[in-house]
Amino acid sequence: QVQLQESGPRLVKPSQTLSLTCTVSSGSIASGTSYWTWVRQPAGKGPVWIGRISAIGSTTYNPSLQSRVTLSLDTSNNQFSLKLTSVTAADTAVYYCATLPIQDGTAGWFDSWGQGTLVTVSA
């Protein structure tokens, strides 16, 4: 099973851009067997899916965040990244990277997760 590790700044100022990277080990992001995704979880609440990116860089985003989110791949370093612009306090959450395995052409459940990183939006 793949291993995932999030990294990036833990504190972001309001109106700035949140940037996180997920490093993948024990698997290749170019394999085409999974989508690479980001999920966030505000304190005491359920997870919220942010978006997914395929091995060829095709992206799909949660409509509620679409205008502010960009996912990208770095196949040379086996990493994928999240950028969220114009952040507010409402974006404070634990951010997870996770995998969506592709089976029979569809992908529905998240089978590997990182440990998560708490990002706080505050001046």
Partner 1 sequence: EIVMTQSPATLSVSPGERATLSCRASQSVSSNLAWYQQKPGQGPRLLIYGASTRATGIPARFSGSGSGTEFTLIISSLQSEDFAVYYCQQYNNWLPYTFGQGTKLEI
Give the binding site for partner 1 (CB under 8 A): 1, 45-49, 60, 62-64, 96, 98, 107-111, 113-116
Whole-angstrom distance, CA of residue 29 vs CA of residue 55: 6
35 strand-pairing partners: 100
Contact 33, 102 (CB under 8 A): yes
Minimum Å gap between C-beta 15 and partner 1 is 25
48, 59, 112 from 27: Cα distances, Å: 25, 20, 11
Q: Which is nearer to partner 1, 75 or 115 (CB)?
A: 115
Q: What tokens does 70 get? A: 């960009």
User: What is the nearest approach in angstroms of partner 1 to the Cβ of residue 13?
Assistant: 26
Q: How far is the CB of 38 from partner 1 (least distance, A)?
A: 12
Residue among 75 and 118 whose Cβ is closer to partner 1: 118
- CB-wise, 29 or 98, nearer to partner 1? 98
Q: How far is the CB of 90 from partner 1 (least distance, A)?
A: 17
Pick from 27, 16, 9, 24: nearest CA to 87: 16
